[in-house]
Amino acid sequence: MVSLRSIEGLPEDIRGHASVAIGNLDGVHLGHRALLAKAIDSARARAGKACVLTFSPHPQEVLHPGESSLRLTTDEEKKKLIEELGIDALVFLPFDNALAEQSAEAFFESVLHRGFQAASIHVGEDFRFGAKRLGDTALLKTLGAAAGIEVDTLAAVEQNGARISSTRIRQALQQGNVREAGFLLGRPYALSATVVRGAGRGSGLGFPTANLDYPVEKAVPCNGVYACRVLKEGKSFGAVANLGMRPTFAGATSNRPVLEAHLLDFHGSLYGTQVEIEFVDRLREEKRFANVQALQAQIAQDVAHVKSLYAEESWPFMF
C-alpha cells in the first residue's frame, strides 16, 4: 500500500483510476470497514485502485483544541489496519486552518477532481466537508455529476439498533465495557506500548508485571482490572492487566492511569520492547486492599479467572 502525506505524490497508476473512500476513520470500526469495502469493490469492478483519504491531525484537534476526544487509533495504527483490508493507497491530508477555511466546492475541485482525478467517491450518509461543514452529500453528488465522478453514500451501519460510531466506542471504553467496544470495532480494543521499568512491586507479590507506556493521545478504558491478550513478535499471551492509580500503594506520581500487565506463562524480560495489549473483558473495579496479603489473594483469583477464559475456544470472544 502506498501511504502519502499529500496528494502531489500520487502515482500515475492511481491518479485517474481511484475509487476514494473519505473519512476521519478513527478506530477503523465496522462502519468504516463497510465504507472501505465499497471503495474496494468499486475499484476492482473497474480495474482501478482503492484509495482512502483521511486527515491528520484529526479535524477536531484543530477546530476545537483542548476539547477534542482522545483517539482510538494513532496514524500508524490506522495505516496498519487500513493496509490489512486491501487498500492500494492511503493519503493523510494535513488538516490545518487553511484547509478548514476552504469551501466545499474548492475542496472538491482541488483534492478530488484535479488531485485524485477520482473515478468514484465513497462517503457515509452523514458526511460533511468544506468550511463550516457546509458541504453535504447532496452537494457532493451534484459536484460529482458535473465532473463525471460517481458518488456513492453508505447508510449508517448499526449494531443492536444503534449506529456504530467512534463516539459510541469511546463511551463503551469510558464505562469499562471493552467487550462492547470490541464488537463495534470488529476486534478487541488495543494499545501499542513500550515496556518500561516500574517499582518492581509485581515481582514482590509473586506476579511480575510489564509496565506499559502507552501513547498519550490514545483513549483508554476506565480504571479497573481486565482480561487481556498481549502480542509480541507473533506470539500471544493471556494477561491480567491493571489500569489505574494502584490505590493499595501510596506515592502515585501522576494523574495519568498506570497500565501494568501480568502475562500468563511468560518467562523472560520485556524491558524496552514494543508490545500490543488487547482488552478482552473487564474483571472488576480497581480497589484499595487492606494489606498486601489481601491483594495477593485477589490477584491469584484474577489470574485463575483469565486462565479459564484463555482456555476457552471462543477466546478472545469471537474476534
Tens digits of per-residue pLDDT, 24-56?
999 999 999 999 999 999 999 999 999 999 999
Residue 193 pLDDT: 94
Position 247 pLDDT exceeds 90 = no
All cell numbers assigned to 126: 452523514
Q: pTM of the predicted model, to two decimals?
A: 0.91
Residue 312 pLDDT: 72
Cα–Cα dist 149/144, whole Å? 5
Give the pLDDT confidence of 198-233 residue by residue, as tens digits: 665 655 566 888 999 999 999 999 999 999 999 998
Q: What is the mean pLDDT of residues 93-108?
A: 96
Cα–Cα dist 212/259, whole Å? 5
Ordered domains of the chain (ranges, CATH): 2-159 (3.40.50.620), 189-310 (2.40.30.30)
3-state percent breakdown (helix, strand, coil) of the chain, nearest 5: 30, 30, 40
Give the pLDDT confidence of 105-150 residue by residue, as tens digits: 999 999 999 999 999 999 999 999 999 999 999 999 999 999 999 9
Q: Looking at mean pLDDT, say which of 67-71, 77-81, 264-268 comes out highest.
A: 77-81
Residue 13 pLDDT: 92
Cα–Cα dist 168/314, whole Å? 25
Residue 64 pLDDT: 87
pLDDT > 70 fraction of the chain, expressed in percent and rounded: 92
Which candidate, 76, 13, 8, places its Cα nearest to that of 43? 13
